[in-house]
Amino acid sequence: MVGKATIRDYFMLHFIVLIWGFTAILGLLISLPSLELVFYRTLIAAVGMVAVCFFRKKPLLVSWPAMLKITGVGVLISLHWIFFFWSAKLSTASVCLAGMATTSLWTAFVDPFVNRTKIKWYEVALGLLVISGLLVIFQFESGYWIGLAMALVSAFLGALFSVLNGRLTRKHSPYQITFYEMAAACVFAFAFMPVYAAFLTEGQPLQLGWKGSDWLWLLILGGVCTVYAFSVSVELMKRLSVFTINLTVNLEPVYGIVLAVLIFGESEKMTPQFYLGTLVILVSVLLYPLLNFWNKRRKPVRPLG
């Protein structure tokens, strides 16, 4: 059960989504491959959370059963980000972000399954609207189908860990959740490196060395886009529903695509059909509050007494 949301909560949610819209761009600015990038991102984030908790005097210790649950979600987050950055590097930041907009569709099915609630018809309808937008994009940008497929996998994992985090926030602080999830994501990325090097790099060695401004972009990615944004998003889950959060995250392509075109120029400009499909996806963001309000109004009111 979520608490009562305020205007400030919605403002902060959009600000966090703006920050996340910049992550795909950072993934392209950083020379590291996806797995190595996720390893450093989560390492910086875990260390950063320790520093934040030390200065704010926030407790980090949780019970062993709770730690296992939180770290299990951390593994999902690690996979989510690996596929996310892999998608951006195989296609473009714009294609990656458009695929990530399907998170709301996955949430419409995952949330009721995990929390044992009824599937809402309008959430599924909005999810299908997102799919129609993707079909428009895919029809005219088929050269990026591998990157788009990876973005879809990342979106599913994003929906899954968001729903699970919504349950964890009922018992644990955002600081505890963020620290253990980032630490687990970092350990998983490190442990996966031998398998990655043996089967997925086509004989190329792991690239753990930084080049040029990688250190700066990694600090921004790990500090601002992860420690700050992730902690705030987990805190918002106490007052906003998971579907509301993930549907608002559909605005991430808008922010990200605009920023990508401004930063990378011609390499990020897509066909008019791509932007049409993205517009269809984003219409779902505007429709959801209206449908949600209508659904609540049509429910019969129980008589008192």
Q: From first to last of its 305 residues, what are the pLDDT tens digits of the chain? A: 455 777 888 889 889 988 988 888 898 899 999 999 999 999 999 999 999 888 888 888 899 999 999 999 999 999 999 999 999 888 887 788 778 877 877 887 888 888 787 877 777 788 788 778 877 776 666 667 888 889 999 999 999 998 898 888 888 888 899 899 999 999 999 999 998 888 777 667 888 888 889 999 999 999 998 888 877 887 887 788 766 776 677 677 777 777 877 777 766 566 777 778 778 877 876 676 677 667 766 665 444 44
Q: Which domain holds residue 130?
A: 7-205+213-296
Q: Is 197 part of a structural domain of the chain?
A: yes
State how far Cα 183 lies from the chain centre.
17
- Enter the pTM of the model: 0.80
- What pLDDT, on a 0 to 100 scale, did the predictor assign at position 305? 40
Number of alpha carbons in the 13 Å side-chain half-sphere of residue 276: 11
Number of domains in the chain: 1
DSSP alpha helices (H): ranges in the chain?
Answer: 7-21, 23-29, 34-56, 64-90, 93-100, 103-115, 121-140, 145-168, 174-199, 214-219, 229-236, 242-248, 252-264, 272-298
Q: Is residue 2 part of a domain?
A: no
DSSP code at position 304? P
SS3 34: helix
Whether 199 is in a domain gets the answer yes
Model pLDDT, residue 77: 95
- Two structure tokens written together for 276: 């049409």
pLDDT of amino acid 304: 41
For residue 113, being part of any structural domain is answered with: yes
Tell me how far CA of residue 213 lies from CA of 29, 109, 210, 225, in angstroms: 9, 41, 8, 17
Tokens of 175: 């600081």
Separation CA 164–CA 160 (nearest Å): 6
Residue with tokens 């998608």: 87
pLDDT of residue 263: 77
Distance CA 288, CA 298 (A): 15
d(CA 263, CA 52): 31
Return d(Cα 127, Cα 108) in angstroms, integer: 7
249 lies in some domain: yes
Residue 123 is assigned to a structural domain of this protein: yes
pLDDT at res. 285 = 63
Give the chain's radius of gyration (CA, Å): 19
- Say which DSSP state 269 is in: -
CB proximity list for 198: less than 8 A, separation 6 or greater: none
Dist CA 144 CA 146 (whole Å)? 6
Give the C-alpha separation, 42 to 227, whole Å. 9
